[in-house]
Structure formats: C-alpha cells, structure tokens
Amino acid sequence: MPHFDIRAATEDDLPAITAIYDHAVRTGTATFEIDPPDVAEMLQRFVRLKHGDFPYLVASRDRAVLGYAYAGPYRPRPAYRFTVENSVYFAPEAQRQGAGIVLLNELIAQCTQRGFRQMIAVIGDSANAGSIAVHTRAGFELIGVHRDVGFKFGRWLDTVMMQRALGSGGTTTPIELS
C-alpha cells in the first residue's frame, strides 16, 4: 500500500480540496450538486465546520492532497446534535489505494472522541460500489435506500443510507457537547 499521511485540513488545503470536489461534481454521482462551488464557497463551508468543532481531515502524500473527509451536522434540529453525517472524496488518481478506509476510520475516531454517538453516510447513487464497500469495511450498516430522489446527468439516482454507532452509540445517555 502506498504511503500517505492523515492530518487535519487547513485553509491552505482548500484549493486542492476544491479541485477534488469540482471533479466529483462535474463527472460523478457521489454528490448531487450540479455546479461545483468555488474556493470561496468551500472556505465558508470549511470555516462553518471548524467553528462547530467538527473534524475535517486530508490524506496527503509528499504534501499533495489525495483526498479529504469531514463530518458535519446530520440535521439542524437539536435532538440530532449527537449524530453526524460524513463525506469522503478522493482525487481519481488516488482512489483504490487504501487511503479511504484509513481516512474514514480516523474520522470515526475523532467524532467518537468529540462525543458524537452516530454517523450517517448518505451515499449518492446506489451504483457507487466503492463508497458502499469502504463504509461497510468501516462498520457501517445499510439502513435504507431512497429511490430516485436525485436527477443528474439525465437520469434518476438513489441515495444509499448507511449508519454506524460511535462509542456506546444509543446504549447510554450522552454527555452534552461543550
């Protein structure tokens, strides 16, 4: 397996992160965005997550960003405050090299450390076998499929919903996040 590092993302990583996401938006169905956001928009999203104390990580090799992952609020209502939704994206040339599972596992560890109890993966396109497989390897279970909820590239797309407990999950009362 090629060597790579996992570390906290910084604002300096945003041009590379934006380029990775731009490619995913323009060519893939993992995201249902139609128009790729620019660096300024990606900065706003990054700052919002960092201010909310959500982890935002990159996988890099020789200082080049290969991919990134972050967790953010699953839903805005207060009862969901212990549940996060994850996102993981890699540059095409960096896919299927083993960094995805390592990056996702570190994201899971950091979310658990922060007191979150559930992680939800909303995977665009039920044909996205790579993402489904890496989430399964990381302990996620299929909880459902929303059929034909997105329309992109002239076709209807599903979203695959997967879930993983963090720490003690729903078996104990959570400690309020500070």
Distance CA 88, CA 128 (A): 13
Chain length of the chain? 178
Asked, for residue 176, whether it belongs to a domain, the answer is no
pLDDT of residue 1: 47
| φ, ψ of residue 177 in degrees (nearest 5) | -70, 140
Q: What pLDDT is stored for residue 37 in this prediction?
A: 98
- Say yes or no to pLDDT of 177 above 80: no
Residue 150 CA to its chain's centroid (Å): 18
In-domain check, residue 85: yes
pLDDT of 85 > 80? The answer is: yes
**CA 147 from centre of chain:** 21
Q: Which CATH number fits the domain that encloses residue 41?
A: 3.40.630.30
* Percent of residues, the chain, with pLDDT higher than 90: 88
pLDDT digits 0-9 by tens, 5-23: 999 999 999 999 999 999 9
Stated pTM of the model? 0.94
Average of pLDDT values for 36-41?
A: 98
Spatial distance between the Cα atoms of 167 and 176, rounded to a whole number of angstroms: 14
Question: Averaged over 25-44, what is the pLDDT?
Answer: 97
Q: Tell how far CA 138 is from the center of its chain.
A: 13
Q: How many other CB atoms are found less than 10 A from the CB of residue 70?
A: 23
* Residues spanned by the domain of 88: 5-171
Does some domain include residue 53?
Answer: yes
Q: What is the pLDDT of residues 90-131, one digit of tens each?
A: 988 867 777 889 999 999 999 999 999 999 999 999 999 999
177 belongs to a structural domain:
no
Across-strand partners of 146?
159
- Would the pLDDT of 168 be above 90? yes
Instruction: Give 2's pLDDT tier (boundaries 50, 70, 90).
Output: low
Total domains in the fold of the chain: 1
Two tokens, residue 166: 């963090």
Per residue in 41-83, pLDDT tens?
A: 999 999 999 999 999 999 998 889 999 999 999 999 999 999 9
d(CA 108, CA 96): 20
